[in-house]
Amino acid sequence: MPGLRLVGPVEDSQGRAGTAVEVDTRRSRVRMVIDPGKGGLLETTTHYLGGEHDGKIAERTTTLSAGPAQSVPPYREAPTDSSPGAPVPLLP
């Protein structure tokens, strides 16, 4: 992938060992921490580039666990009340 840099060994925000790669966009630097043993994504961090927030974290996503779901909630149809101003229900 053009622009992708290997950073090397790092720890994620939970202290887990990983290998980091980074890529810069116009306004940010995205760092992905990969589990070297399983190849899974441990964490993604986006940092601002430039301006008053240069280097500060804009967003962080840390994967604590991943795997198949044991169950799926049942499907429910949304109510069809189409009168003007009718509230839109939130489905769980």
Domain count, the chain: 1
Cα→Cα distances 45→36, 59, 77, Å: 18, 6, 37
In a domain? residue 74: no
What pTM was estimated for this model as a whole?
0.70
Please give the angle made by the CA atoms of 40, 5 and 15, to the nearest 5 degrees: 45
Helix (H) or strand (E) holding 24: strand 17-24
**Residue 87 in this model has a pLDDT that exceeds 80:** no
Model confidence band, residue 81 (pLDDT cutoffs 50, 70, 90):
low
Q: How confident is the model at residue 68 (pLDDT cuts 50, 70, 90)?
A: confident
Does 75 map to a domain? Answer: no
* 13 domain-assigned: yes
Q: What is the pLDDT of residue 84?
A: 58
- 89 within domain boundaries: no
Does residue 90 belong to any structural domain of this protein?
Answer: no
* 50-61 pLDDT tens trace: 999 999 999 999
Q: What is the residue range of 40's domain? A: 5-62
pLDDT of residue 72: 83
Segment 20-39 mean pLDDT: 95
